[in-house]
């Protein structure tokens, strides 16, 4: 059966890219409100249920805990909310256990007794409690935006899968849960949740916006200068050493025509002409000419990465308005309606 008609499997029709092996993807979509949920809900309606769940103090068995929580939760949505709020409110993050795995509680019963765990323990407990409450739930694993391993959950409500994270939703010092991670819209959730199985992005197609991120070869958040020399044509950059030195020394600024005329004295082929102009002026003067540190200080240092960059790498941080100029066999389309509501 198709999605939304009783199927418990995520959508399969992801946009597979023939030239790109995308291992993870960050999306910033300005048309999606930052608090948008994957289904129409009013969090204010949970005020009494939230207060009840926070006060429940049952820690003998997971079964008894669920039984008590469900006394005030009747619909599937209310059950999920009560379970999520209880875990976020009562289970602490185990910093010590994260460093010493021998002291770490991961099994649901152990987490319940200890009252602390890490992301996998949060997610396993949530999945167990949902199972006892009759809610279809999945335990998901993947990476965060900074590429650290993480775990979270998906729940099946009203004929669709929805995403949430108990670990990042847990209550802070003010005692309030972070509702952002409750039934988060997939377009927002994928900004910092990158599942190992891309089906669990829960997007109708993989979309790209102003920020497209990491292709499998590009594993670091910042681009090392010499990380990749894969170009769009077969070239040896060392052949340009003399031409580069010449172009850098040219100091003609009276007119563009005169500048080009002087540069072309040492550049004969079309490739050499492009190289000389790029080296003097830099094809992309922002990305090619240096870097900006956290304090906003600019350091001049040209980057070979941005000279005739392979399209599969260039698309990581250059997204043209006209998708034809991605120069990919299969273009990545910005589709404002391309994700589940």
Q: Which of 89, 90, 150, 193 is catalytic?
A: 150
Q: Show the domains of the chain with their CATH numbers.
A: 43-184 (3.10.620.30), 237-308 (no CATH)
Q: Does pLDDT of 325 surpass 90?
A: no
Dist. CA 252–CA 108, nearest whole Å: 72
Digit-coded pLDDT (tens) for 175-215: 688 999 999 999 889 888 988 888 898 876 544 333 334 33
Q: In percent, how much of the chain has pLDDT > 90?
A: 43
Q: In the 3-class helix/strand/coil scheme, how is the chain assigned residue by residue?
A: CCCCCCCCCCCCCCCCCCCCCCCCCCCCCCCCCCCCECCCCCHHHHHHHHHHHHHCCCCCCHHHHHHHHCCCCCCHHHHHHHHHHHHHHHCEECHHHHHCHHHCCCCHHHHHHHCEECHHHHHHHHHHHHHHCCCCEEEEEEECCCCCEEEEEEEEECCEEEEECHHHHCCCCCCCCCHHHCCECHHHHCCCCEECCHHHHCECCCCCCCCCCCCCCCCCCCCCCCCCCCECCCCCHHHHHHHHHHHHHCCCCCCHHHHHHHHCCCCCCHHHHHHHHHHHHCCCCCCCCEEECCCCCEEECCCHHHCCECHHHHCCCCCCCCHHHHCCCCCCCCCCCCECC
51 CB-side CA count, 13 A = 4
Q: Does pLDDT of 59 surpass 80?
A: yes
Confidence tier at 283 by pLDDT (50, 70, 90) = very low
Phi/psi of residue 325, each to 5°?
-85, 10
> In which residue are the tokens 């172009």 written?
247
317 noted as active-site residue: no
Q: Which of 29, 119, 177, 339 is catalytic?
A: 119
User: Which tokens belong to 36?
Assistant: 């948008």
Q: Does pLDDT of 125 surpass 60?
A: yes
Dist. CA 114–CA 109, nearest whole Å: 9
Predicted local distance difference test score (pLDDT) of residue 83: 98
Confidence tier at 220 by pLDDT (50, 70, 90) = very low
Which of 331, 317, 252 minimizes the C-alpha distance to 288? 317
Mean pLDDT, all residues of the chain: 77
165 noted as active-site residue: yes
Q: Which of 165, 179, 244, 340 is catalytic?
A: 165
């Amino acid at each position: 059966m198709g999605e939304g008609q009783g199927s418990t499997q995520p959508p399969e029709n992801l946009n597979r890219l023939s030239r790109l092996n995308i291992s993870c993807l960050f999306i910033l979509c300005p048309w999606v409100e930052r608090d948008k949920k994957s289904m129409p809900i009013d969090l204010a309606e949970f005020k009494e249920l939230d207060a009840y769940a926070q006060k429940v103090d049952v820690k003998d068995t997971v079964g008894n805990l669920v039984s008590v929580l469900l006394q005030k939760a009747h619909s599937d949505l209310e059950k999920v909310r009560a379970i999520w709020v209880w875990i976020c409110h009562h289970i602490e993050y185990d910093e010590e256990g994260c460093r010493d795995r021998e002291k770490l509680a991961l099994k649901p019963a152990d987490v319940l007794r200890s009252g602390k765990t890490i992301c996998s323990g949060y997610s396993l407990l949530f999945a167990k409690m949902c199972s006892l409450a009759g809610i279809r739930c999945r335990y998901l694993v993947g990476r965060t935006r900074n590429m650290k391993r993480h775990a979270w959950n998906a729940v099946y409500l009203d004929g669709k899968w929805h995403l949430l994270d108990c670990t990042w939703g847990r209550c802070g010092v003010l005692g309030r849960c972070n509702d952002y991670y409750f039934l988060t819209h997939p377009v927002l959730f994928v900004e910092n949740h990158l599942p190992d199985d891309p089906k669990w992005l829960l997007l109708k197609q993989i979309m790209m916006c102003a920020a497209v991120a990491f292709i499998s070869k590009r594993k670091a958040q910042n681009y090392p200068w010499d990380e990749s020399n894969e170009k769009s044509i077969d070239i040896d950059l060392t052949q340009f050493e003399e031409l580069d030195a010449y172009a850098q020394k040219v100091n003609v600024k009276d007119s563009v025509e005169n500048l080009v005329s002087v540069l072309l004295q040492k550049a004969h082929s079309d490739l050499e002409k492009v190289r000389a102009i790029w080296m003097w002026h830099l094809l992309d003067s922002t990305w090619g000419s240096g870097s900006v540190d956290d304090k906003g200080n600019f350091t001049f240092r040209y980057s070979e990465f941005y000279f005739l960059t392979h399209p599969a790498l260039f698309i990581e941080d250059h997204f043209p308005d006209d998708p034809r100029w991605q120069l990919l066999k299969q273009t990545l389309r910005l589709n404002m309606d391309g994700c589940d509501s």
